[in-house]
Structures are given as C-alpha cells and as structure tokens.
Amino acid sequence: MSVYGEMAGLDPLTGGEVVVAQNIAFGLIAVIMLFSALRMVTTRNVVHAALYLVIVLAGSAAIFILLGAEFVGVTQVLVYIGAIVVLFLFGIMLTRGALGVDEEEKGEQRLMSCLVAGLLAIVTAGALINTFSDAELTRSSPSTTATVGDSIFSQFIIPFEAISVLLLAALIGAIVVARKD
Amino acid sequence: MYLNQFLLLSAALFAIGVYGVLARRNGVLVLMSIELILNAVNINLVSFAAFRDSISGEVFALFVIAVAAAEVGVGLAMILLLYRNRRNIDLTEIDLMKG
C-alpha cells in the first residue's frame, strides 16, 4: 500500500511515468496471456494445456493488481491457481489415455470453430472500439480489501449467502455424481 | 490507461476460449476453455469497476470465481463418471440422445 500510495501521490493515474510503466507492464502481460491462451487451446498434450492455463490465470491476476483490485488478484491466485488447476490436473491424471495421442480434431470442425471465434472477436472488438474509443480509467486510488469486505457484507449479503448455498450444493452434487456405488 | 485496452484483451481471450470449447474433443480441455471464458469476463468486470471507480464490479468478479469453482467441481465429477462408464471422454462420441 505504501509504495502504491507514494506512486499515486507522485503521479495519479493520468499522465506521467507511472502511466508509461503501467502501459509497458500491460503490454508484456497481455502478450504473454494471449500467447499462452492460444497454445492452451491448440496443444496436443493435455498436461501442457493445464500449465498454459496457469500462465493465463497468473497473467489475469497481474491485470487485476494493475487495475488496483488487490483482493480479486489474491483470490484469483488462491482459488484458481491453488485449487482449480490442481483439480484439473487430478482430472487429467484420472482420465489419462482416454483419448491417447489421437486427439486429432477434424479439419472441418477446426475451420468452423476458427470462423466462429474470429467473427466473435471481430464483432466484439468493433463494438468496443466504437463505444469506448477514448474512455480513460479514472480510479484515483486502489480499492482495499476492507472496502471489498464491507461491500460484500452489507450491500451484497444476499448474493453472498446464495453463493454459499450454491457451493454446498455443488460439493454434495460432485460427491454424489463421482462416488463409486 | 485506457479502458479499451483491457476490454480488447478480454474480448480476445473470450474468443480463444470459444474456439477451445468448439474445436477440442477432450472433455477436460473443454472445461479448461470454459475457465478461460469466465476469466475474460472477470477482467471485464474488474476493468469496469476501475472505470466507474466503484467496488461492485470487483465483488461480482469474486462471485464469478466462486461459481467457476463450483462449476469445475461438478463438471469434472461428470467427466470422471463418463470415463468410468465408457472409458472415453471424447465429447463428439457422446451422442446417445441425438435425434
């Protein structure tokens, strides 16, 4: 907080060296994330795909920190990289060899998927460039964990409780579906 | 920093995730691509929270993370069940209910 605060005091998020540094960091992270995501969906080896997923998730945690959302960034590392990826690795190992080396997508299917994803990207990017072409981020200081906690337990208490019940239901459901007998 | 650079990154990740869901046949890889899509949505939510200088977007990103965790748990349990019954997790061969 102190380093960030001094940086903010030195130069707020509009203009100056801090912005240059932020843009360089953003460019680096974005390139790494896009490359890893592309490798993730194209690689043959499923374990490699899981490791590329780790890089993408870590990159988006870095993006969250860059946007001043420290608690979301930390939660991303804890829940995604710490728990979900481990779950994926277990899933991969338990179903190992189910597809073998013959994970050859049909050429037609790959072409159509490429077409759909490319069209989606073009349409979304066009709409975004049209709408937000000169919207600048105006956040003056990063949000602290305390404000996030206050918000969850006052304004968003009902969704929070609903999420708790949902997690319990998913837990029980997963056990019931996956158990042996 | 402009809002658009984050939104465009998120859109690109979303499109890559959609490609993964459509093109891959391995069930675990399809679930991983869905995680990629949810992650793109999270980047969108947090960047709009920074844009509007409000906290709601971050709280919803946290909710999305929780729902993603639940979804992965149930999804992997279903894929394990599929593997146990058919020795195969190729999603193109699961066409029992095809008309």
pLDDT band at A74 (very low <50, low <70, confident <90, very high): very high
Mean pLDDT of all residues in A105-125: 89
Q: Which tokens hold the place of A42?
A: 């194209």
Query: How near does any CA of chain B get to the CA of A106, in Å?
Result: 8
pLDDT tens-digit profile of A142-168? 888 999 999 999 999 999 999 999 999
Put simply, the chain A residues between 122 and 161 with a CB less than 8 A from any chain B CB are 124-125, 128-129, 132-140, 143, 147-148, 151-152, 155-156, 159-160
Mean pLDDT of all residues in A110-139: 90
Put simply, the chain A residues between 19 and 58 with a CB less than 8 A from any chain B CB are 19, 22-23, 26, 30, 33-34, 37-38, 40-41, 46, 49-50, 53, 56-57
Q: Which domain holds residue B87?
A: 3-97
Q: What is the pLDDT of residue A51?
A: 94
Q: What is the pLDDT of residue A5?
A: 57
pTM: 0.88
Query: How near does any CA of chain A get to the CA of B98, in Å?
Result: 18
* Chain A residues touching residue B2 (CB < 8 angstroms): 132, 134-137
Say whether residue B25 is in contact with chain A using an 8 A CB cutoff. Answer: yes
The 8-class DSSP code of residue A95 comes to T
Say whether residue B64 is in contact with chain A using an 8 A CB cutoff. Answer: no
Which residues neighbour B1 within 8 Å (Cβ) at sequence distance 6 or greater?
Answer: A13, A19, A22, A23, A26, A66, A136, A137
* Interface test with chain B among A22, A31, A67, by most B beta carbons within 10 Å: A67
pLDDT band at A94 (very low <50, low <70, confident <90, very high): confident
* Complex ipTM value: 0.92
In CATH, what number is assigned to the domain containing residue B34? 1.10.287.3510
Nearest CB neighbour to B79, from listed A57, A91, A109: A91
Nearest CB neighbour to B3, from listed A71, A116, A137: A137
- A1-97 carries CATH number 3.40.50.720: no
Our count of domains for chain B comes to 1
Q: What is the pLDDT of residue A99?
A: 60
* Chain A residues touching residue B79 (CB < 8 angstroms): 91, 95
Percent of chain A whose predicted confidence (pLDDT) is above 90: 61
Nearest CB neighbour to B74, from listed A50, A84, A177: A177
- Is the pLDDT assigned to residue B46 strictly greater than 70? yes
* Chain B residues touching residue A129 (CB < 8 angstroms): 4, 8
Query: How near does any CA of chain B get to the CA of A89, in Å?
Result: 9
Q: Do A98 and B2 touch (CB under 8 A)?
A: no
Contacts for B47-52 with beta carbons within 8 Å, 24 or more apart? B47/A67, B47/A137, B47/B3, B47/B6, B47/B7, B47/B10, B48/B3, B49/A67, B49/A69, B49/A143, B50/A67, B50/A68, B50/A69, B50/A137, B50/A139, B51/A135, B51/A137, B51/A138, B51/A139, B51/B3
Query: What is the average pLDDT score of chain B?
Result: 91
